[in-house]
Chain A
Amino acid sequence: MAFAAFSSTAPSATAAPSTDPVARRRSPVALFLLLPGILYLVLFFLTPLVSLLLTSFQSPREFGDIGQFDYAFRWQNYVEVVTTYWPHIVRSFSYALAATFFALLISYPLAYFIGVKARKWPLLQSLMLVLVIAPFFISFLLRTLAWKQLFSDESFVVQSLKALSLLGPEAHVTGTAFSVIFGLTYNFIPFMTLPLYTTLERLDVRYLEAGNDLYASPFQVFRKITIPLSMPGIVAGTLLTFIPAAGDYINASRDFLGGTGTQMMGNVIEANFLVLQNYPSAAALSIILMTVILVIVSIYVKRSGTEELL
């Protein structure tokens, strides 16, 4: 599983400074083996990034058509997008934060059950893991559309809620902040659960017993021992949820669970690139999104004491 890569950087009990002379010796073979990776990064990461950065400073061509721009250093692009789209920027990060929080709230007990409680029954463990991963077999677009159906005004869910007066007669579920955050949470639960599972699965229950033996109540054991020991999984899971959720444009899109009032940065970038053909604005927004995520993530990882992940 790809997530194992995250958990393997966890501070293991045997982690000691490597003094192995073989590992430290530089060899041309190692560089040669790195070459494909470096080439790949240059071609598919560095080049588009530089291109994006250059595009974000472009200025409109004089007397040109819509969508025609020249390379320049028009930093005002950034000021313009921030003043125009700041509600979308704020919305993006608050929705992503809320979705991450709810996903963690749902995934942690789930991962704890699969990884710790179900150890005695390996079959149940595998079955539950399959259930977590099974939604991936259907495109997330279809699954999100299905939720749109379930939350539509004529749906059984909404009709029942209205019949019970839990929802006003004129109220909708789709197109609200609730449905967008719901969709984000739903779509990212597997990304939260799997890294949590990999760390919890290796959680040594003898530490929990030792905590119990040292007068810690079950709640204190959870707070003082289980949570700190599963921190690598929590960090990996929240990052895997927060980063894509902040840039997501499917759930918040009007075609899916969102509405005019729930547009996120991803939707704005999409509109600017594909509809308005305002490439510099879209590029500037992308750069802003990337930078803010990078800053937030660095602070987060530093604060949580799992620098090994960076």
Chain B
Amino acid sequence: MTIGAFADRGADLQLVGIEKRFPGFTAIENLNLTIPAGSFFALLGPSGCGKTTTLRLVAGLEEPTGGRILIGGADVTNQKSFQRPVNTVFQSYALFPHMTVLENVAFGLRRRKIGDPVAKAHEALLLVELDHLAHRRPQQLSGGQQQRVALARAIVNRPALLLLDEPLGALDLKLRRQMQLELKTIQEEVGLTFLHVTHDQEEAMTMADIIAVMNKGRIEQMGEPQQLYELPKTAFVANFLGQSNLFTGPVVSTTGTAIAVDVSGQKIVVPLERAHRVSGAVTIGVRPEKLTLHDVAPTYSDGRNVLGPGRVIDVSFSGVSTQYLVAVPGIGTLVVFAQNMAFGPAAHVGAEVWLSWNVNHGFGLDDDPTDAPRFEADLDTKTIAQQRRSSLITEFEEA
């Protein structure tokens, strides 16, 4: 795409071997990612996982230490931010306080010398239903309105790729829901490629076609929201995207369709096609809402896993469902979500219960739950000084 003309459709984004180091820490390591044109792609992860850095690299606000960035097949790694066919909706909105809403929206069009910027800016404001406030200053608008202006200011340029940096973070829950729907509608209407960075898993699941879960500078798993939720690959994904009950134990027997895992003396069966590892010590899991509570030991023979007996240690009511914490000796504490089909809880604190779930609802992970950091924590001043020194030396040698 050339500056001076609109992109007629979204372009795909390719990140090849992206690496970004800051003095003192590594933000991103060997990131490979392809976002298909016209999709709503969410980059999900906890704060500090490198997702905002990835977005800033794509926008051209940071330079990668290594790797290449391609938009619509064209290498933009060496292009400056203002030369890239990319627009960003910033977390802080960053609306220019010395301009009216209309001037803010028309800013990008004027820079690119696109004809009739005022009419096009009005059109974009109509799309976000704010045209009646076109002549106000940004600081006279509410947070939600400012967010919509920021969105209009970005999409009015019809960028091949629109970057969203947690733009809904500052809004209250109701407004956020409304904006999520609006964003999705706009994306479908204009057919642009959206790259949405967020730490809100629910937001990512409602809006995105594809989610990439990022942790410690790497992508843990990528896929459609439902696939990611039902079949997480790693312990991090299992716990970050919703909640999971995880168990670790050795595989004791394998059939043609399933593996059986020994968890503290109790046998749990997982289908073979839902297990990432099939021998040795494996970690398996099940989602809390898939579990059923029983007050007497169930006598299933086949098709269901049973755990118990355990004791209910906490019951918390949340309207639609009730969350139970069940301590099973030798295994640990399990979370159970039960729909409130009848009045009152199904079990009280201290009650002895058994848990069961459909064998097909379990999943086997590719790794084990761990607390160890992927990158060495090297934030002390000595390390920073050493890294600075070595980077300076290489710089001098190159010069």
Contacts and interface: CB of A to CB of B under 8 A. Distances in A.
A213 B61 contact: yes
28 contacts: A11-B97, A11-B98, A13-B139, A15-B139, A204-B94, A206-B90, A206-B94, A207-B97, A209-B81, A210-B88, A210-B90, A210-B95, A211-B107, A212-B60, A212-B61, A212-B81, A213-B81, A213-B88, A213-B90, A214-B87, A214-B108, A214-B111, A215-B112, A216-B107, A217-B82, A224-B107, A225-B96, A229-B98
B141 to A, nearest CB: 11
Contacts of B83: 215
Contacts of B111: 214-217, 220
Interface in B74-113: 80-83, 86-88, 90, 92, 94-98, 107-108, 111-112
B193 interface: no
B278 interface: no
Contact of A229 (B97, B107, B108, B112): B97
B82 A213 contact: yes
Interface residues of B, number: 26
Interface string A4-26: 00000001011110000000000
A214 B156 CA distance: 10
B157 interface: yes
Contacts of B139: 13-16
B216 interface: no
Interface string B58-76: 0111000000000000000
B190 interface: no
A135 interface: no
Contacts of A217: 82, 111
Nearest to B93: A210
Contact of B108 (A16, A204, A215, A225): A215
Interface in B7-59: 59
Contacts of B199: none
Given A210-B95, A212-B81, A214-B87, 8 more contacts: A13-B139, A14-B139, A211-B96, A213-B60, A213-B81, A215-B83, A217-B111, A225-B98
Contacts of A214: 82, 87, 107-108, 111, 153, 157
Contacts of B82: 212-218
B140 interface: yes
B3 interface: yes
A228 interface: yes
A196 to B, nearest CB: 17
A207 B92 CA distance: 10
Contacts of B96: 207, 210-211, 225
Contacts, number: 68
A213 B157 CA distance: 11
B394 to A, nearest CB: 20
A225 to B, nearest CB: 6
Interface of A: 11, 13-16, 204, 206-207, 209-218, 220, 224-225, 228-229, 231
A224 B139 CA distance: 18
Nearest to B108: A214
A296 to B, nearest CB: 24
Contacts of B61: 209, 212-213
A214 B86 CA distance: 8
A203 B260 CA distance: 62
Nearest to A214: B108
A104 B262 CA distance: 78
A16 B140 contact: yes
A220 B3 CA distance: 15
B90 A215 contact: no
Interface in B153-202: 153, 157
A231 B99 CA distance: 13
Nearest to A208: B94
Max chain A CB contacts within 10 Å: which of B83, B90, B111? B111
A224 B104 CA distance: 11
Contacts of A206: 90, 92, 94
Q: Which of B61, B86, B95, B140 has the most CB of A within 10 A?
A: B61
Name which of B3, B61, B81, B139 has the most chain A CB atoms within 10 A of its CB: B81
Nearest to A217: B82
Contacts of A16: 139-140
Given A16-B139, A216-B111, A228 B98 contact: yes
Given A16-B139, A215-B3, A215-B157, A210 B98 contact: no
Nearest to A227: B98
Nearest to B92: A206
B319 to A, nearest CB: 37
Contacts of B95: 210
